[in-house]
Amino acid sequence: MERNPIPQFKPPHRNSPQRILIVRLSAIGDVILGVPVLCALRRAFPKAEIGWIVQGPGSQLLRGHPDLNTLITIPKLSFRTPSKFLEASSLARAFHPDLTIDLQGLMKSSLLAYLSGAKVRLGFASGEYDGREGSYWLNNRLVTPTSRHMVHRGLELLQPLGVVDSAIEYRLAEQETDSLMAKRVVEENFSGGPFAMINVGAGWPSKLWPNDRYAAVAKHLWNRWQFPSLVMWGGETEKRRALEIQSLAPEACKLAPSTSLTELRSLLRLASLFVGSDTGPMHLSVAVDTPTVALIGPMPIERVGPLGPRHRAIQNERLTKQQKSERKTNLSPILSIEVPMVCEACDSILGELSPSLLTRPTR
């Protein structure tokens, strides 16, 4: 359990919750999409003790967040290993929450909220994507969101607290060592000039766009805008994909070094453009306000697409309700996105940037 010092604020609202525990365990992109809830809670309850229980690499991006008091990192949970649940619930109870917010809406997240001992447990009513696996039996203040996007739906969970706040903030922390590493990479590869970042990986096969298409986009960015691309990767499989893209467009691409998530966050802050599918790095790019072209495959664009005028989302085909069970494997939606669509979105973003923003900004 890690604690961050929080600056002193004005007194909290009357009858406000004193100890709030956010439960959003994974995945990286979904954790990022939950961060605006943390920021909204801090604006509403400036004196509250706010904790977040999370598993896996998403914890790296929460560490040091200025609005978070306590970060509880746990191993990946499985109902086949009850001992891990007992350990995780012990850590949740040790925080002594009087309120939990279940952003995940699954049985394991709602069970952790229940076992934390919190008297008030906010969660989603039963729905297509939220409030699943009987989580609504364990959460005792249920919300039926009217919004489609995950960020807005998370913010709607706060309405029973009297919090009606549509402002979207991320305020992700920046470590000096990560910032220095990112600046060194940019200087060594691009002499400090502007560049785009291309992300080749994704958690599901249905979100993987073909290598040759990414290479074609990199060539377009180079020929049209004189923008080189830094091809990012995570793990050996993605590295092989990145190397293939570089080999297909050697004049337009550089291979990114191996990075941690926090180093990637710093690199994204320095990029002028990001291109990639619906995955953690795309949501991270949006969170640090780098202009983003998001290639949306099987998930609804109105649920996961980037929010804000600096970004573009492309979805050319979507799964039917009957195909929902194929969302991890059905390649048809992502393959229906053609190279000219992505190039047009890139041109739209870059054409709106002022000349000064097409040079490397200092962030």
Cα end-to-end span (Å), the chain:
30
Half-sphere exposure of 275 (CA within 13 A, CB side): 31
pLDDT tens per residue across span 240-267: 999 999 999 999 999 999 999 999 999 9
Q: What is the pLDDT of residue 233?
A: 95
Q: How confident is the model at residue 354 (pLDDT cuts 50, 70, 90)?
A: low
The identity of residue 221, as a single letter, is L
pLDDT tens per residue across span 97-136: 999 999 999 999 999 999 999 999 999 998 888 888 989 9
Does the pLDDT value for residue 8 go beyond 50? no
State the alpha helices, DSSP H only, in 98-235.
Answer: 107-115, 135-138, 150-156, 176-190, 211-225
What is residue 332's three-state secondary structure? Answer: helix
pLDDT tens per residue across span 21-79: 999 999 999 999 999 999 999 999 999 999 999 998 999 999 999 999 999 999 887 76
Q: What is the pLDDT of residue 197?
A: 98
Q: Whole-angstrom Cα distance, residue 233 to residue 209?
A: 14
Domains of the chain from N-terminus onward? 2-161 (3.40.50.2000), 176-358 (3.40.50.2000)
Q: What is the pLDDT of residue 15?
A: 66
Q: What is the pLDDT of residue 321?
A: 85
Report the pLDDT averaged over residues 306-313: 96
